[in-house]
């Protein structure tokens, strides 16, 4: 069987939609009594730990020869973008490098990953604070005279309830969040990766829900472009082994790509750059045939320098980082090669989804070519850290794309497990992210018990099965995350109405 070929018929209102990756590198799950081939896109999340001074971190990373900010700089010879991309001095990989100067892997990770610009993900449902968070990030990029990349991952019913489930509680609240997000964008060039998987993955939505999502993405695009005329907005193009180019073009048209600058591909996969470029040309041709011209592609090259392999890179040792991020693509159809999914952040099958794992980063970088040694920008990076408000540290409304750290709670010393709870509360509802950590021995199965406050009720659950919806609720593992290696973690979450639970949770192994 070939990758990307679907053997499952979706409901007729979805047309000929297909799912990502086929056996033997995919697992299956059940959605509305239809078995579908499972695509995994993990939410990269940002740590809620106190951020260090950006000046200290930059100094630590810049200690190696020719690292500084080793970007491919200069005017693009083909696409519509030119200039250097912004490297976030407070990303998870930069923090790890600064905190581990003596680790044998540090030099490789520092020189080939931490030195490079990567997307900052915004996926926490935080309408009251998102504007200031965005404004701080944009301000730092503007001060460095570089182009920031922002990945928005907040659409309602994100990931169809999978490992990266969550998003805004409803589409009205989604538009409120997007409006506040857009107010922080300033007026200089920014790159917006708008809602990964939102158009390629529609299997869980009814016809009316698909129409509502399309309208929501159209409105979000127009809102962002209205707030900042220099914003470059790209919609979800899936990837070359998922939907056909014609099908994806139809979905892009329905979601208002005519108002955007183009589309992005390969965030949820590891396909070759040449294969993605060919796929992009086919989409552009299809769009042109529909009367929609002038659209460009951006390709995620963060992890496509080696084998394709199974959906989860946590235990894969033959993947490598791909082409270094740049706007100088040499291809008139491609605006940029970007690192949207930060290299070294887990996919969720072995480590907590979104957590930075130095072993993964080292595996991706070891043996990969060195980055181009262009001169650092003449304008010094800002000496103060970007805002300390971090996107979620969980899979539900989280910032995905990108970066949490493993739980700071000390694993149990015995053979059991512990559970820690993080709650994101809004008026009338909440999401809770729960991290389950094994003790000094592997466990095969777990049950987490959480008491809910009076009036609170669970409305949806991901990566676990719930017994009950109110009062004391028991959550048990599902088939793919019951086994946890010693001192490793997995994550599940749930959304509810009312007030979220406190930090109290008990875990029992077996």
The residues carrying an active-site annotation are 159, 197, 347
Both tokens assigned to 388: 């300390």
Q: Give CA separation, 235 vs 214, 296, 319, 428, 455, in Å.
A: 11, 10, 26, 31, 39
Query: Could you tell me where the beta strands, DSSP code E, fall in 365-445?
Result: 417-426, 429-438, 443-444
- Exposure string of 203-228, with b = 16+ CB inside 10 Å and e = fewer, is bbbeeeebeebbebbbbbbbbbbebb
Angle in degrees, CA 116, 56, 124, rounded to 5 = 60
Residue 395 CA: distances (Å) to CA of 42, 47, 406, 419, 432: 8, 13, 13, 16, 9
Q: 275: part of which helix (H) or strand (E)?
A: helix 273-289
37 - beta bridge partners? Answer: 28
C-alpha 432: how far from its chain's center? 18
From CA 76, how far away is CA 331, in angstroms rounded?
Answer: 9
Any long-range contacts for 275-280 (C-beta under 8 Å, 24+ apart)?
275/240, 275/241, 276/239, 276/240, 276/304, 277/331, 277/333, 277/334, 278/240, 279/237, 279/239, 279/240, 279/245, 280/237, 280/333, 280/334
In the chain, % helix, strand, coil (3-state, to 5) comes to: 25, 20, 55
Nearest partner of 361 among 383, 346, 339, 377, judged by Cα: 346
């Amino acid at each position: 069987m070939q990758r990307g070929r679907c053997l499952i018929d979706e409901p007729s209102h979805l047309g000929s939609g297909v799912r990502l990756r086929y056996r033997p590198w995919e697992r299956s799950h059940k959605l509305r009594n239809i078995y579908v081939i499972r695509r995994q896109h993990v939410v990269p999340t940002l740590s809620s730990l106190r951020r260090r001074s950006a000046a200290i971190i930059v100094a630590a990373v810049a200690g190696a020869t020719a690292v500084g900010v080793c970007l491919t700089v200069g005017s693009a010879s083909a696409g519509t973008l030119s200039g250097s991309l912004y490297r976030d001095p407070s990303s998870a990989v930069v923090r790890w490098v600064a905190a581990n100067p003596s680790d044998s892997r540090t030099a490789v990770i520092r020189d080939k990953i931490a030195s490079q610009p990567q997307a900052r993900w915004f996926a926490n449902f935080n309408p009251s604070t998102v504007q200031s968070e965005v404004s701080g990030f944009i301000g730092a990029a503007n001060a460095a005279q570089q182009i920031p990349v922002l990945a928005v991952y907040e659409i309602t019913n994100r990931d169809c309830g999978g490992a990266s489930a969550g998003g805004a509680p409803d589409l009205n609240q989604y538009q409120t969040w997007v409006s506040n997000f857009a107010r922080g964008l300033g007026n200089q060039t920014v790159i917006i990766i708008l809602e990964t998987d939102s158009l390629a993955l529609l299997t869980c939505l009814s016809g009316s829900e698909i129409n509502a999502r399309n309208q929501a993405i159209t409105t979000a695009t127009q809102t962002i472009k209205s707030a900042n005329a220099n914003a470059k907005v790209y919609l979800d193009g899936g990837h070359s082994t998922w939907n056909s180019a014609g099908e994806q073009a139809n979905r892009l048209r329905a979601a208002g790509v005519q108002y955007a600058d183009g589309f992005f591909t390969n965030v949820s996969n590891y396909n070759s750059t040449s294969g993605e470029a060919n796929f992009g040309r086919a989409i552009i041709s299809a769009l042109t045939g529909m009367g929609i011209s002038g659209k460009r592609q951006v390709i995620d090259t963060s992890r496509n320098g080696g084998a394709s392999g199974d959906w989860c890179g946590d235990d894969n040792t033959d993947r490598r980082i791909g082409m270094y991020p740049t706007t100088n693509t040499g291809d008139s159809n491609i605006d940029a090669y970007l690192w949207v999914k930060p290299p070294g952040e887990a996919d969720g099958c072995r480590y907590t989804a979104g957590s930075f794992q130095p072993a993964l980063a080292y595996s991706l970088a070891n043996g990969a070519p060195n980055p181009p040694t262009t001169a650092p920008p003449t304008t010094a990076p800002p000496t103060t850290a970007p805002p300390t408000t971090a996107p979620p540290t969980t899979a539900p409304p989280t910032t995905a794309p990108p970066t949490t750290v493993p739980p700071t709670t000390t694993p149990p010393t015995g053979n059991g497990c512990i559970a820690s709870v993080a709650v994101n509360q809004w008026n009338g509802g909440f999401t809770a992210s729960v991290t389950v950590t094994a003790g000094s021995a592997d466990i095969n199965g777990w049950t987490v018990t959480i008491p809910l406050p009076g009036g609170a009720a669970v409305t949806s659950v991901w990566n676990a099965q719930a017994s009950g919806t109110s009062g004391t609720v028991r959550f048990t593992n599902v088939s793919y995350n019951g086994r946890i290696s010693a001192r490793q973690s997995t994550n599940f979450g749930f959304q509810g109405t009312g007030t979220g639970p406190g930090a109290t949770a008990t875990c029992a192994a077996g």
